[in-house]
Amino acid sequence: MKTKKNFRPLGAAVMALSIATASALSIAQLAPEGKTFSKAQATAFAGPLQTERRLDRLIVKFKDKAVTRAGVFDFNAARSQVSMLQTGTALKSLNTSAANLSYLKSVTAETHVVITGQKLSRAELFALAKQIEQDASVAYAEIDEIVQPLFTPNDPQYQSQQWHYQTPATVPGGANLPTAWDLSTGSGAVVAVIDTGFRPHADLAANLLPGYDFVSDLTMANDGDGRDSDASDPGDWCGTDSPPSNSSWHGTHVAGTIAAVTNNGVGVAGVAFGAKVLPVRVLGVCGGHISDIAAGMRWSAGLSVPDVPANPNKAKVLNLSLGGSGSCSDTFQGAVNAARAVGSIVVAATGNDGKTVISQPANCAGVIAVTAHTKLGDNADYANIGAGTAISGPGGGAGTLVAGDGALVYSTLNTGTTTPVADSYAGYQGTSMAASHVAGVAALLASLQPAITPDTLGSVLASSARPHPPGTFCAPRTDCGAGLVDARAALDRLNSLAPTVAASVSPTGVRPTGSTISFTATASAGNSGNTTFSYQWTQMAGPAVSLSSTTAAATSFLAPSPGASYTFKVNVTDGAGLSASNQVSVRSNTAPVLSPIPVQSVIQGGNLSFTASAADAENNPVMFVANSLPAGSSFDAATGVFSWDAAGPAGDYSLTITPNDGIFSGIPQTVLIAVTASGAAGGGGGGGSMGWPDVLALLSLTALGVYFGRRYGPKR
């Protein structure tokens, strides 16, 4: 029979959970000297970073210079290069106004800036650049990015306290977030904080989702009941510790590091402030049980747990800033395997025992095990390392070889020593803090690639990590992980691995209604080299149509009547869970139908007038084209009015009228006109007057009447 283990906040005995600090300091002791904390008032950040910027400029370098024979730069030659690119085979398959490139300016004689026909997302513009690079005349094509000062949150404690977010040029141990936030803020990602629960801190509440309380042991629950939907933290003080420990509000501190509300002029910033935190309470008074933690992990990943309502907000990232001694238990490993099988990433702290062996569940297979480093980038003197360590995150405190100033990781907290009192901020040190940084960076990555696999995300983090600084404890070692987490490098690495996709339509141009329109997606592997692709087509605009397939590289639909504009998005995902998308647009149209025009007749010298009209299914304005007009007549293309004053000479005439709606021409009609000699009976006039056949018939009848009247009529 296995011994049941309690997983507990920092400050407990040998079986303690390695979560908050390397010692049993109280919150007041961890706060900077002389610093008082006021209750924060939060407002959700709604700045431009939450809205993806759309761009329309590319830099294209050609292999040849745009110069004259005398070597002088020639603007016309530069424009010609862009024009030839537009009509070249590389872009021939693209039927979208986005590919309508125009020359803007030049950087060098061979490097020019071109503008696309419409603004695109960064992913779409990147795909277009890769398509342009297929042209034999092009050396490279890249996005003409908008460069601005690095995003700096206006949260007052960000600059003064949160060294752990800064660039490595400023702080060697910083996670390099200012440059990363220009690419991702974590929007759309969900991170489960499997911990002591949460306090509704004003600088955090806006980013919290409804969680769950899995603490089933009533002696630990401290809230009067067992499992329920209230994941708030009532306090986890432990009187059996020696000395007794105060409440840590540990889950609130970890959650603030991951996703505190940012740029709201209050308190602190979060690593992935665009993400949401799913609070899962598994630790109570003096700790928690493996069984509850494993259940919380499964529920967080969207898996079912008996007698617990389903989780409507599946977490892509599971943060376990907790740990206990011993090898990975079967229960933990089973929970890790189950979470990974449905695509969730598991991040765990290695422990705060200063040992060369890491805690469980960090030592479970498939977990991203995080050790801690200091402000100067040295491995923290309390941080466990050893086989299985994946990466290091900012944890604060003193270094093993390079002591530093002992700066702590600053985040959201509560002033209560036992039960909750008021919002506050404070610094902690520990591998718990390090793990929460890595979990936040994982959310930044998952925001850009929601389908990324756990293995791929772990590989991206490791391959982009900065080497341990020279002279630090881990520099010569192989058991400290890949290096220091670097948010911007991780995002750049991810983007380089992702595939690209081009989308084309066939036949090109506006298509007649009733015709079959076909689309083809062509995917190319990124630097990962993964060529196993799956496809997903989605209609983005236009009347709903039925595609022949939504999951094949090629698809088609029958253009219904009336015509319309249609836009479709194709998303391609490779075997690593990395995806790319592109859009293709096409338009269908119905040609206008000319109303029948009867035979027209007029007496020589008379005036003739009639109006052509047409029906158009799309209500497009119709123009009319007339050919073979009789001499002296006129035709108004806009109104369809035919006019012929003083028609003549006598004879038969014909003209052809064709309707056009600006896209397609309708079926032409030949209009017959009879001009009768002026000496004949009848009078000239407009359309509908007596024609020459009628006149002849009348004359014939008159003559016949005279003949019969003379021969057979009464005699005088």
Q: Which residues are catalytic?
A: 195, 250, 432
Cβ atoms within 10 Å of 89's Cβ, excluding its own: 9
Whether 57 contacts 115, CB under 8 Å: yes
Cα distance between residue 585 and residue 322, in whole Å: 51
Residue with tokens 């949160």: 162
Q: Whose CA is closest to 390, among 363, 365, 368?
A: 368
Q: Tokens at residue 488, please?
A: 């911007």
**Residue 351 backbone zone (phi > 0: left; psi -120 to 50: alpha; other: beta):** left
Whether 211 contacts 296, CB under 8 Å: no
Cα distance between residue 157 and residue 155, in whole Å: 6
Cα distance between residue 417 and residue 24, in whole Å: 13
Burial of residue 560, with CB atoms counted within 10 A of its CB: 0-12 exposed, 13-18 middle, 19 or more buried: middle
Cα distance between residue 606 and residue 95, in whole Å: 53
Cα distance between residue 303 and residue 314, in whole Å: 9
Q: Tokens at residue 186, please?
A: 């974590």
DSSP 670: E
Q: Which residues pair with 594 in a beta bridge?
A: 614
Cα distance between residue 366 and residue 554, in whole Å: 36
Q: Tokens at residue 421, please?
A: 């009192």
Whether 573 contacts 533, CB under 8 Å: yes
Burial of residue 374, with CB atoms counted within 10 A of its CB: 0-12 exposed, 13-18 middle, 19 or more buried: buried
b/e for 114-131, b at 16 or more Cβ within 10 A?
bbbeeebebbbbbbbbbb
Long-range contacts of 455-459 (CB under 8 A, 24+ apart): 455/576, 456/497, 456/528, 456/576, 456/577, 456/578, 457/345, 458/345, 458/368, 458/390
Strand residues in 533-664 grouped as ranges (E)? 534-541, 554-558, 565-573, 579-589, 593-594, 600-603, 608-611, 614-615, 623-627, 634-635, 641-644, 651-660
Residues 6 or more apart whose Cβ sits within 8 Å of residue 3: none
496 phi and psi, to 5 degrees? Answer: -70, -25
Cα distance between residue 121 and residue 540, in whole Å: 15
Burial of residue 338, with CB atoms counted within 10 A of its CB: 0-12 exposed, 13-18 middle, 19 or more buried: middle
Residue with tokens 């196993």: 532
Q: Which residues pair with 112 in a beta bridge?
A: 60, 106
Packing angle, helices 454-464 and 487-497, rounded to 10 = 120
Cα distance between residue 645 and residue 630, in whole Å: 11
3-state secondary structure 413-435: EECCCCCCCCEEEEEECCHHHHH
